[in-house]
Amino acid sequence: MFVLRDWQLRGVTRILGSLFPVSKGQESEIIRPFHKSVSDWLNNYDKAGIYYVSIPEGHQMLADFGYKQYENGLDILHQYFVRNLPAHLIEASENDRLNAWDRLEAVLTDILFIQKKCKAGQASDIVNDYNMVL
């Protein structure tokens, strides 16, 4: 999704070692913590210190990246964002309320986005997207 070359991905995952194994997803490889305790630790500033990872900032970054892809055309929109862009925009609205809601409105009222989501077998997810907004 973030367009790492294979050798770059292998370098990153080699550094992370067994804490973040790589697994095959439906469309791409996925890096996940091997145990929930790792992500709990990373999300606690007092415990993680310099390794702290902000969930709200992560949603904001994913919302920004996904929306740029969306603006550049649905034909290049990664499947991850077809499924998850509305959720990231909703979560990003906590920090950037006006901009995120305008973006969310654009996505959820775009008939071409809705069609792409349906073609991807995610028709029922559209209802969930609208319910998250309510």
Determine the Cα–Cα distance for residues 43 and 56; give it in Å rounded to an integer: 10
**CB burial readout 79-104, b (16+ within 10 A) else e:** ebbbbbbbbbbbbbbeebeebbeebb
Whole-model pTM: value is 0.81
Q: Are 38 and 53 within 8 A, CB to CB?
A: no
Structure tokens, 8: 């770059």
Based on C-alpha coordinates, what's the Rg of the chain?
A: 16
Query: pLDDT tens digit string along 43-99?
Result: 999 999 999 999 999 999 999 999 999 999 999 999 999 999 999 999 988 777 667
